[in-house]
Amino acid sequence: MNILILGPGAVGSLWATKFKLVGHHVSLWGRTSKSELSLQLDDAPLTTYSNQSITSVQEADLILITVKAWQVESAIEPLLPYISEDTIVMLMHNGMGTAPLIEAKLANNPIVIATTTHGAYKPSKQQVLHTGHGYTQLGGFNAKGAQCDFLAEVMNHALPEVHWNPNINGALWTKLAINCAINPLTAIHQCKNGELAANEFAIELANITHELVEVMNKEEIKVDFDALHATIMQVVNATAANYSSMRQDVFHRRRTEIDFITGYLLQTTEKHQISTPENTKLYQRIKQIEQSWTE
């Protein structure tokens, strides 16, 4: 397949190198205007990709968007005039709420949403490290996207495991809940994920989880407190030594994904006219931290 990776950060570079290894024709669209970029996955040899090539947009069978949620709209903008209606557009990032923004611009394209638990880290522009083996779920966002289940096999060949999930919304909400619980708290307290297992966070985490269950149930995602709490604590323990992406963003004073994580939850809360004070408090605190950088 002709695959274009829009946003060759850590996750985008991981997929680019994995797709190339199994023989796909892979191009990148990064921020730099260099016509070629090179990537090295772990100890594998360096591989080279065309960058910002209009032809690669026109010929793409799949555009995989791996920029952060808040960058999706502006990142796709320069490509819009060249994207064919047959090109599958796939979103892969933390948070929710970007698919309707893409649909508004590319109404006739198949749109697929992906969520992945693979860990990747880019210590330099060329190097990408596959730091944690995870799995990926895909599902259609619109009717044309729902017909793209063959992609699970294609992607599974490059970087297993990949599953097609007809109920991708449930998977996205579970991931959103994990991010709502872990990311703001670790960013505010500047701690590793594992530190959230300490007693001092028990009540706060339970309150956050109760609110998440209420909102998810309103969205017709069937989940109870014990199951969601266990899932969140399982991720806390499995990623105990890691710094969450939001903790890293705050540490480096980069804009966080809060608007598409807790912000998306609060929009949904408002829609159902319920209140989620614990999550609102976390949202406001992260916003305050971001604003303090510009003052």
Residues that bind ligand PAF (CB under 6 A): 94, 178-179, 182-183, 193, 235, 239, 242, 244-245
CB of 194 to ligand PAF, least distance (A): 10
Q: Is 287 one of the annotated active-site residues of the chain?
A: no
From 20, 125, 175, 192, active-site residue: 175
Closest CB to ligand PAF among residues 25, 119: 119
- Helices marked H in the chain: 10-21, 54-58, 72-76, 99-105, 150-158, 168-188, 202-218, 225-238, 245-251, 262-271, 277-294
Tell me the closest approach of the beta carbon of residue 168 to ligand PAF, in angstroms.
Answer: 16
Rg of the Cα trace of the chain? 19
Q: How far is the CB of 173 from ligand PAF (least distance, A)?
A: 14
CB 279 within 8 A of CB 90: no
CB of 198 to ligand PAF, least distance (A): 17
Looking at beta carbons only, is 64 or 258 nearer to ligand PAF?
258
User: Which amino acid appears at position 260 of this protein?
Assistant: F
What is the rounded CA–CA span in Å between residue 81 and residue 76?
A: 10
Q: Which residues contact 43 (CB under 8 A, 6 or more apart)?
A: none
- Residue with Cβ nearer ligand PAF (56 or 94): 94
Q: Residue written as tokens 């480096």? A: 252
Nearest to 63 by CA among 19, 118, 94: 19
Residue 154 vs 289, nearer CB to ligand PAF: 289
Give the residue numbers marked as catalytic: 175
